[in-house]
Amino acid sequence: MSLRCCRFNRRFYSAAVSYSFPIPRDLLSGSSSRPDLMMSNADRCPQQLSWTVELLIRLRDLDTAAEYARLAYSSRINCEFTIKTCDSIIGAMCEAKRYRDALDLFHHFFNERKSRSVNKSPNHVVKAICELGRVDDALVFFRALQPHPGLSPIYSHLTKALVYAGRFEEALCLVRQGPVPLACSNLIRGFLNLGNLDMANQLLEEFEYNGYWAYDCTRNEGAYPRVVFIEHWLKQGNDEEAMRCYQSLLCDHRFQNYGDSINSLLQLFLSYGKKKEAWELFHRIVDGFYKKTMGGVVSETIDIMVRECFNDGRFREGIETFYQVKAKVGSSLKALDYNNVITRCCEQGLLSEAECLFAELSSHRFWSVDVFTYRAMMDAYLKAGRVDDALQMVNKMVVANLTKLALWMKF
């Protein structure tokens, strides 16, 4: 195979569905749920609906959240809050792997209600259709969309599904149409798995030569294609070549803002027992942020290394790692960073440490404790036989969420 131009295979495509956004009927869940009489008096202001749906998603009550979300377009006010409501509930359904429910909701919002404003929802829909094993239908849906920068994840979902199906030429067309790093990585990984190193190298050279790694919307993913090569050589047991690729990546000034790519690299090193390299890279990122020579440190990056310590039974070192990062990144730390380490402490029964971190998080004016952290604290208290403390935590969770909802309702 060469990197020649190709055309999509159209043999299985059909225009049988007459809706603007074609979703095959057999992929819908069949649920025709509509807001019931209990919701007939619900406030249909787009802003308040959006906040209500967000709160219900946080409480993991997706069915009630979906019922409220269906009210979004009944107000006939199509604004940013309406779009956010749709994106949130469809994304939450996909995250819970309730793909058919997600497709039902999209069909309701954008086909039945005839909304023309789409944001992130199509990304979720394409992923859902691909996960259901219907890549051809995903391609039909994709062609019905008006291209815009927010659709870049679609190329990743489609190329992954096409490569899995062995349809490399069609995947190559997509990579050239939307040369985002994750899409390119999927195709490179496919060629490497086939043992076609030449094609993989050609694709990497084309990707970097044309500067696709520098797109603003995907800049933090720019190193992904190179990470795939490092993964390949580690799988082959060729540590020397893997480290050569890694050092080449470190020395390339174009990829100093690692962003999301760093997480894949850290997990890769840890999974292959290269803990020394993982910790060196982690400290390089943290120190680079402190010296303002590299991009920010994302929450997942911190959690990966804290989790590594906890998995090895080095609990104190994990907590110290969190505080070391906090000392260097300061105000760039997020509530999610606290939520993650509190959950780790609760899982190991480190209640005193969890309580200290919880107090720090709760004292921050603009941060909030998520539902999962409240539940982790409650479970830890119950396991320790501290029922009263668990009940107090329940009350704190209820008050915090009701207070948040009350504040939202003022606007």
Range among 43-57, 170-184, 197-211, 347-361 with highest mean pLDDT value: 347-361
Question: Which one has a higher pLDDT value, 259 or 195?
Answer: 195
Range with top average pLDDT, 53-67, 134-148, 153-167: 153-167
Residue 36 has pLDDT above 70, yes or no: no
The answer, yes or no, to whether residue 384 has pLDDT greater than 70, is: yes
- Residues 234 and 199: their CA atoms lie apart, in Å, by 19
pLDDT at 13: 38
79 to each of 67, 115, 125, 150, 207, how far by Cα in Å? 19, 11, 21, 17, 37
Can you tell me whether residue 334 is helix, strand or coil?
Answer: coil
Instruction: Note whether 260 and 298 are within 8 A (CB).
Output: yes
**Domains delineated in the chain:** 18-32+42-146 (1.25.40)
**DSSP label at 109?**
I
- The residue with greater pLDDT, 78 or 318, is 318
Task: Kindly report which listed range (52-56, 348-352, 355-359) carries the lowest average pLDDT score.
Answer: 52-56
Mean pLDDT of 47-70: 86
Q: How far is CA 195 from CA 116, 172, 232, in A?
A: 44, 17, 10
Question: Is pLDDT above 60 for 306?
Answer: yes
pLDDT of residue 59: 79
pLDDT band at 22 (very low <50, low <70, confident <90, very high): confident
The Cα–Cα gap between 263 and 213 comes to 17
**Residue 76 in this model has a pLDDT that exceeds 60:** no
For residue 235, which amino acid is it?
K
> What is the average pLDDT across 95-101?
93
Measured CA to CA, the distance from residue 45 to residue 205 in angstroms comes to 51
Residue 76 region by backbone torsions, left for phi larger than 0, else alpha for psi between -120 and 50, else beta: left
Which range (8-12, 243-247, 277-281, 391-395) has the least confidence? 8-12
Q: What is the pLDDT of residue 62?
A: 92
**Is the pLDDT confidence value at 15 over 50?**
no
How crowded is residue 100: how many other Cβ atoms within 10 Å of its Cβ?
17
Provide the pLDDT confidence category of residue 133 given band limits of 50, 70 and 90.
very high
Mean pLDDT (whole number) for 22-27: 84
| pTM of the full structure | 0.81
